[in-house]
């Protein structure tokens, strides 16, 4: 079969010697025969074993969770996929090939392919928009929710000025500076090799089509995609009965205002400590990953 030239895979040599990320690449087939890559670390151990599903957002990949994987894997199995278009997963070079339904469908395919059960969802940014929506529609697969710097958009909300500036920038630049975007949304001063690791998945400008598509896809009052799904998810999360922990950074200008509404939406969230991750920005996994892993393990232990 002739391979579609609009589908590309980043050369493996770009992922060699990544700092703090010496994890084997696994993959499953999702969607229209697309490879979705993931890390799978640790093991479930009897009745007390846990399965942590960690979902990244824009424009990162599973590397974002490298500081959290060690702590979480001491408590159970840690599964960290790269969404199609990101990380070590296959990429589509046609921006129009990406949609809310596309990403949602590949996430469902991924979880079903691995037959993940009793999941503790750990999600941030688009990982939360998609992950929380999926959990709301398939609660039988999920044991707990950990929502970080994310939300379940109503499709009617005004977006913060910082987000509007970000979306506008992504739309107008000829070359998308992925490393710069991540550094600008991180309180930590990232070393050059870490910045390079975030840029590694994008070996060509065409490979960044998924990263260019995601910002404008956020459901909102003047655009986006997937509002019907997120609105229904919000309704269902309003009746959620399993444990939920809303854990936001105190210095993220994009999602900070989402925190209290999300905590109020999910009934069980108010049963957990009222915690802010101090001194962290949008990519709080980068700024405080080890501490966040401890918070999540403590959440699991008390629930």
Contact 80, 39 (CB under 8 A): yes
Other C-beta atoms closer than 10 Å to the C-beta of 25 total: 16
Residue 121 Cα distances to 46, 235, 243, angstroms: 19, 19, 11
Candidate list 82, 125, 225, 287, residue with the active-site label: 125
Cβ count near 232 (within 10 Å) = 14
Distance of alpha carbon 295 from alpha carbon 297, whole angstroms:
6
Q: Is 282 tagged catalytic?
A: yes
Q: Which of 252, 274, 291, 301 is labelled catalytic? A: 252
- What DSSP letter does each residue of 58-112 carry, written as one string? TT--GGGGTTTHHHHHTTEEEEEEPPTTSTTS-EES-GGG--HHHHHHHHHHHHH
Is residue 252 among the annotated active site residues?
Answer: yes
Residue 301: active-site member: no
Query: Which positions are annotated as active-site residues?
Result: 125, 252, 282
């Amino acid at each position: 079969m002739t391979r579609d030239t609009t589908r590309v895979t980043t050369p493996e040599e770009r992922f060699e010697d990544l700092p703090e990320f010496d994890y084997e690449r696994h993959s499953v087939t999702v969607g229209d025969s697309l490879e979705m890559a993931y890390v799978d670390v640790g093991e479930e151990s009897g009745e007390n074993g846990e399965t942590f599903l960690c979902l990244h957002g824009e424009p990162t990949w599973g590397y974002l969770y490298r500081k959290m994987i060690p702590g979480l894997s001491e408590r159970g199995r840690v599964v960290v996929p790269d969404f199609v278009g990101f990380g070590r997963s296959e990429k589509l070079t046609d921006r129009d090939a990406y949609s809310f339904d596309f990403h949602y469908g590949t996430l469902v395919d991924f979880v079903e392919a691995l037959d993940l059960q009793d999941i503790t969802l750990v999600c941030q940014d688009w990982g939360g928009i998609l992950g929380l929506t999926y959990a709301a529609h398939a609660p039988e697969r999920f044991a707990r929710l950990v929502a970080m710097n994310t939300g379940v958009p109503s499709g009617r909300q005004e977006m913060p000025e910082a987000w509007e500036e970000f979306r506008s920038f992504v739309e107008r630049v000829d070359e998308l500076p992925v490393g710069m975007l991540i550094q600008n949304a991180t309180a930590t001063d990232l070393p050059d090799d870490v910045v390079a690791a975030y840029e590694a998945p994008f070996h060509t400008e065409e490979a960044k089509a998924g990263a260019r598509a995601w910002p404008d896809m956020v459901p909102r009052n003047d655009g986006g995609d997937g509002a019907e799904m997120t609105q229904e998810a919000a309704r269902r999360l309003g009746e959620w009965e399993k444990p939920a922990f809303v854990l936001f950074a105190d210095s993220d200008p994009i999602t900070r205002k989402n925190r209290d509404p999300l905590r109020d939406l999910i009934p069980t969230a108010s049963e957990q400590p009222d915690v802010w991750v101090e001194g962290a920005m949008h990519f709080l996994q980068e700024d405080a990953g080890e501490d966040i892993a401890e918070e999540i393990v403590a959440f699991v232990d008390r629930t």
